[in-house]
Amino acid sequence: MFFLLFLAMIFLFFPYLILPIIFFLGIGFLFLLPYVFTFNSLYNIITIPWQILKIALDKRVRKNHSLEHATINVLEERYGRPLQVGGLAHSNGFSLSGPDLPPPYEVMSAVREGHFRMINGEKDLAIHPRCGTSIAAANFLFSLTFILVLFSSHRLSLLNVIVAFLLANILANPFGRILQRLFTTYANVDDVVVQDIYIQPTSYGLSFMIMLNPNRSYFIKTYQS
């Protein structure tokens, strides 16, 4: 503790001493960056397909995921712009949260409209461009491309990272839509019954937290016959 206090006092009165430390840490970070990307890429190649497979094997989650997307798509149609709204599907419903969420009655109206429109043939409502599946697809493509470029060039470099990043961003959107359509959503929601909407607490019991965290959060409960 005394040693840390001593260092803090030195940096406070002699701030120019920080510059050499920042310089050497920056050089070390740049040197280790390709190795960090390599480890992270190998991890993503293993874990992301497994996460998507778990969703793909549970049709109840996939149907609720479709209904979640349809709800957000309907809300964005009504407001005429992208909304800062996130969602998470479960086997018994789905949750929505974000600062742009309207009141519960309007969300419930969008849920029922999206449900009705999908039943009547608008299956594309089940797909959303900013879905977490698309983000996972981008991460997976980046990781896979980075590993392929790494093994083809036989060396680690910042160029490998840049090439992988560019290719992943080009392919992420169409690949993410394919993954959504085939693995993480299921647009045949005829047997899904929308039951009710519940407000989820986001203030942790403290009134002043409402000002710090203005996000609304709802859970829409469903039943599948």
Residue 179 has pLDDT above 50, yes or no: yes
Residue 5 has pLDDT above 80, yes or no: no
Cross-strand pairs, 88: 95
Residue 147 in tokens:
């590993």
Residues 20-30: what's their mean pLDDT? 57
Judge residue 8's burial from the number of C-beta atoms within 10 Å of its C-beta, 0-12 exposed, 13-18 middle, 19 or more buried. Answer: exposed
DSSP track, 71-108: HHHHHHHHHTS----EEEEETTEEEEEETT---HHHHH
pLDDT digits (tens, 9 = 90+) for 33-76: 666 667 777 888 889 899 999 999 999 999 999 999 999 999 99
Answer for the pair 77, 64: CB distance below 8 angstroms, yes or no. no
Q: What is the mean pLDDT of the chain?
A: 82
Q: Poorest-confidence range of 98-102, 112-116, 161-165, 174-178?
A: 161-165
CA neighbor of 68 nearest in space, from 95, 106, 91:
95
pTM of the complete model: 0.77
Tokens 């957000």 — which residue?
72
pLDDT band at 13 (very low <50, low <70, confident <90, very high): low
